[in-house]
Amino acid sequence: MSTLAGNDSWKENLPCFVLKRAATEAERLGIIHYDGNKWTPSRDTSCFSGRKLKSVQERAVQQLVHSRLGIPSNFNTKVVELMSDRIKRWKAPGVSTTSDCHRALSIARDVGKNLPARFVFGFWQSVFYGWLTDTRFRHQGQVEIRSCIFSCGEPDAKDDFYHYAVCSKVWAAFYRLGLHRSSSVVQTGFRWLLLFEGDANLSIRMAFLTSVMVAVHKLRSPHSHVHSSLREKYIRDTFKEQVCSCPLLKSTFNELWARDVFAL
Ligand SMILES: [Zn+2]
């Protein structure tokens, strides 16, 4: 962008209408401005977090989201309304969808602020029913829905988030990792897996949720050669890999195991 400006004809010099439209919008929103002999970013900090951003593109995307929806918070009704459409599928008796939206926003903000972004991404992709499974894609012409990718052998075990939330292999991995130590009450099921229930050690549970999603995605294709007898272990290995890359999670996990003198 910096090489294009300098006079009013800079937009005409852009090679396609998409770029012209993006540049016009970026100028209108104050994302870029003309400064002497080149166009430069007006700010390099996030309008959401105030943190320094890596690129003009990232700043532009955030500014566009901000101009459309405002700041993501429990009090932003536009955000909650948009989320409700996706989150209502997890509704439980006596709990409103709005309340679930508020909880998800709080967890993403409070728990996610101390973790690498991929864990928050995994949380949102799960909460929005975004795992790559055959059941989700059946409406796109895929006729056959595969069985559980973890080969649990349970009747009607489909490649679907609803199954994985109760899959015996998933919860076997959870217990073998010692994660039940993080809470006195553990319930198997989608609301517990998605962090809508239970308040203890949400960070380590968010890591587990992300790890199961990553394991499902990898076993569907690039790691489909992994033998069925090793697939529960594959979840544990994925979890350990994810946790070891984050000092805070590694420390939290090791605290759970401290009494047994076991550590990652
Ligand atoms: Zn299963």
Query: Which own/partner contact pairs does 180-185 have at CB distance under 8 Å and 24+ positions apart?
Result: 181/256, 181/257, 182/256
| Residue count (the chain) | 264
Tokens representing residue 145 in the block: 């829905």
| 227 CA distance to ligand 1 middle (Å) | 15
CA pair distance 20, 81, nearest whole angstrom: 32
For 158, which DSSP code?
B
| 133 CA distance to ligand 1 middle (Å) | 13
| 178 CA distance to ligand 1 middle (Å) | 20
| 159 CA distance to ligand 1 middle (Å) | 8
| 157 CA distance to ligand 1 middle (Å) | 5
Q: Tell me what pLDDT residue 13 has.
A: 67
Q: How far apart are the first and last CA of the chain?
A: 47
Q: CA nearest 82: which of 63, 67, 91, 69? A: 69
CA pair distance 84, 128, nearest whole angstrom: 10
Whether this model's pTM surpasses 0.85: no
Tokens representing residue 163 in the block: 């199954």
Tokens representing residue 13 in the block: 């010099």
Residues with Cβ within 8 Å of residue 132, at least 6 apart in sequence: 216, 217, 220
| 125 CA distance to ligand 1 middle (Å) | 20
pLDDT in tens, the chain (264 residues): 444 444 556 666 667 777 777 777 777 777 777 666 666 777 777 776 677 777 777 777 777 777 778 877 777 888 888 899 999 999 999 999 999 999 999 999 899 888 998 999 999 999 999 999 988 887 566 668 889 999 999 988 999 999 999 999 999 999 999 887 766 566 668 899 999 998 888 999 999 999 999 999 999 887 788 888 899 999 999 999 999 999 999 998 888 877 665 656
Tokens representing residue 229 in the block: 């007898």
| 155 CA distance to ligand 1 middle (Å) | 9
Q: Tell me what pLDDT residue 240 has.
A: 94
Please say whether the beta carbons of 98 and 84 come within 8 A.
yes
Q: Tell me what pLDDT residue 1 has.
A: 46
| 161 CA distance to ligand 1 middle (Å) | 10
Write the single-letter amino acid at 67: S
CA pair distance 210, 229, nearest whole angstrom: 22
For 115, which DSSP code?
S
CA pair distance 68, 245, nearest whole angstrom: 35
| 167 CA distance to ligand 1 middle (Å) | 4
Please say whether the beta carbons of 46 and 56 come within 8 A.
no
Q: Tell me what pLDDT residue 2 has.
A: 44
